[in-house]
Structure 1
Amino acid sequence: MYKFIIFIHVISAILSIGPFFVLFPVLNRMKGKSGDLLDSHIEVFQAAIRIVKHAGHVLVVSGILLMWQGNWAWSTSWIVMTIVIMVSSIVFLAKAFKPNIRQFNAGVIDSHTLIFKLHRSVWLYIILLLIMLWFMVVKPNIW
């Protein structure tokens, strides 16, 4: 059962970061677009965010099961750091994408600003996830 949970954990990790790499071409296609075409690209962007969120749920549950099955203590340094990064990424995910899209839809920001903010947020989120992935794979003993 442990190997199956690891498999599920790895697949959910891939699904929680992979869609963000697909968003770079979408963001490039959004440049200079308006109307329905821009709206369709934003819908693709939002769908990718939904996939990432749901994969994150599976990632957390499978991670907890792996900790339980592997007898890891919650106070282990790499687990604490992974949780800190995970909570940070959840807060970041909630504040980085949907509010910017809402501001665009409300006419507060233009499409150029929206694309810039989304592009920057995608990179920041990828960096957060890669740091979290590093903690999970390397399992450094920090304290």
Structure 2
Amino acid sequence: MYEYALFVHVLLAVIWVGGGLTMLLLGGRLRKSDDAGKVAEFGSHAEWIGTHVYLPSSILLFLAGVYMVIDGDWGWGTPWVVMGIVGWLFSALVGSLYLGPQGKKLKADMDAGTITDEGLLARVDRIVNVQRIEWLVFLIVVWAMTVKPGV
């Protein structure tokens, strides 16, 4: 059963981390156009993917990881396990306390017509900068999961 949990864990990491990088690259490319309409449309799609793909993937990834720690020979204090949990918690907090609320507020402001194109682009820049930091945390976690320091 451990091998199946590992497969699920790795598959969901590929979806979550790889998808996040794709969104950053595509979002950055669109942002360079300074076309607020394109950026807003992309933001709407990114918000949907975040709640319908990344959120469930991250939860299932965490549960598969918990199962592997319980079923395997890994302890909760193993350095790379701790790094994975801290990275996952960081992402969960960033998503629930910043990215999610900012995305909803941005969408509400766009729907109400209360934000200028310049304001939209500036807010998107701040959101993307936070996502860059989050992706670097993902990179550190992937390193920890593969190199397994302390083993």
Range class of TM-score, shorter chain: 0.7 to 0.9
Residue ranges of structure 2 left out of the alignment (5+ in a row) = none
Q: Which residue of 1 aligns with 2:11?
A: 11
Deviation at residue 45 of structure 1 after TM alignment: 1.0
* Separation in structure 2 between the aligned mates of residue 133 and residue 38 of structure 1, nearest angstrom: 29
Alignment map for 1:46-125 (pairs within 5 Å) = 46-50=47-51, 51-104=53-106, 105-106=108-109, 107=114, 110-125=119-134
Q: Give TM-score, length-normalised by structure 2.
A: 0.79
Deviation at residue 42 of structure 1 after TM alignment: 1.8
The reply to whether residue 44 of structure 1 matches residue 53 of structure 2 is no
Bigger mean CA deviation after superposition, 16-25 or 3-12: 16-25
Deviation at residue 122 of structure 1 after TM alignment: 2.0
* Separation in structure 2 between the aligned mates of residue 48 and residue 100 of structure 1, nearest angstrom: 15
Q: Give TM-score, length-normalised by structure 1.
A: 0.83
* SS at 2:49 equivalent: helix
Q: Which residue of 2 aligns with 1:26?
A: 27
Give me the CA root mean square deviation.
Answer: 2.3
* Separation in structure 2 between the aligned mates of residue 39 and residue 116 of structure 1, nearest angstrom: 12
Q: Which residue of 1 aligns with 2:139?
A: 130
Preserved CA contact (<8 Å) 2:27 2:39: no
* SS at 1:97 equivalent: helix
- Deviation by residue 1:118-142 (Cα, 9 ceiling, x = unmatched): 2212211111111111121111119
- Deviation by residue 1:27-48 (Cα, 9 ceiling, x = unmatched): 432543345x554322211022
Identity %, equivalent residues: 20
* Separation in structure 2 between the aligned mates of residue 44 and residue 123 of structure 1, nearest angstrom: 18
* Separation in structure 1 between the aligned mates of residue 146 and residue 92 of structure 2, nearest angstrom: 20
* SS at 2:127 equivalent: helix
- Deviation by residue 1:3-30 (Cα, 9 ceiling, x = unmatched): 2211111001111112222223234325
Bigger mean CA deviation after superposition, 82-91 or 105-114: 105-114
* Separation in structure 2 between the aligned mates of residue 48 and residue 132 of structure 1, nearest angstrom: 22
* Separation in structure 2 between the aligned mates of residue 74 and residue 119 of structure 1, nearest angstrom: 32
Deviation at residue 72 of structure 1 after TM alignment: 1.5
Residue ranges of structure 1 left out of the alignment (5+ in a row) = none
